[in-house]
Amino acid sequence: MLLDLSEEHKEHLAFLPQVDSAVVAEFGRIAVEFLRRGSNPKIYEGAASKKGRGKLNVSSDTVQHGVEGLTYLLTESSKLMISELDFQDSVFVLGFSEELNKLLLQLYLDNRKEIRTILSELAPDLPSYHSLEWRLDVQLASRSLRQQIKPAVTIKLHLNHNGGHNTNVLQTDPATLLHLVQQLEQALEEMKTNHCRRVVRNIK
């Protein structure tokens, strides 16, 4: 599958052959860093001005577009998980030098896994399991009844949601606890059944 690059995108990337490969590699690093941490406009200023590796003599806008174009190239390729060959063919249409193409391919392959991890965090998100703590309690008395022996399991469930951390404190009785364990063990067993194995094997 080839990447479909828009005219605007190609324009932005057209900046890349005008600088030497060390600079392109640097932009690549900046692009991945932005994907990790969010963008930082000050970097564009720094790169465009006399700082950095010699005068670039371009506007910070151009630098920004270049980096953004590179970012989009990397994220789209990673999202679709395109093969090496497809990536090379997609980039070929930009008319870059072979050295630049190689560099871009390497950039893609080196960062693909990490970018996919970052992209997976963008999916519609349900709270996800983080960890669980438990404690055994025995209720001995309450305001309405003395001399009790009522065992209970207190559970602190830690969940992650939208980058934040939720904690739920819950309780259950011994019988329900056994039931929970049994039900969830069945859930785990399900992945080992023939049906699930067949699906996993055949959907690629």
Partner 1 sequence: MELSEYVQKGFQMLADPGAFDSNAFTLLLRAAFQSLLDAQADEAVLDHPDLKQIDPVVLKHCHTAAATYILEAGKHRADKSTLSTYLEDCKFDKERIDLFCTEYQNNKNSLESLLGSIGRSLPHITDVSWRLEYQIKTNQLHKMYRPAYLVTLNVENDDSRTYPEISFSCNMEQLQDLVGKLKDASKSLERATQL
Binding site for partner 1 (CB under 8 A): 79-81, 116, 119-120, 122-124, 126-129, 131-134, 136, 142-148, 150-151, 153-155, 157, 159, 168-174, 176-181, 183-185, 187-188, 190-191, 196, 199-200, 203-204
Torsion over CA: 44, 46, 49, 53 (sign): negative
Phi-psi region of 163 (alpha: psi -120 to 50; beta: other; left: phi over 0): left
Report the nearest approach of partner 1 to the CB of residue 52 (Å): 32
Report the nearest approach of partner 1 to the CB of residue 77 (Å): 11
Report the nearest approach of partner 1 to the CB of residue 198 (Å): 11
CB closer to partner 1 out of 57 and 171:
171
The two tokens of residue 204 are: 């690629």
CB closer to partner 1 out of 53 and 135:
135
Report the nearest approach of partner 1 to the CB of residue 86 (Å): 13
CB closer to partner 1 out of 50 and 204:
204
The two tokens of residue 122 are: 């963008």
Q: What CA–CA distance (Å, rounded) separates 170 from 191? A: 28
157 Cα distance to chain centroid = 24
Nearest to 87 by CA among 63, 117, 107: 107
Report the nearest approach of partner 1 to the CB of residue 104 (Å): 20
CB closer to partner 1 out of 7 and 188:
188
Beta carbons within 10 angstroms of residue 124's beta carbon: 4
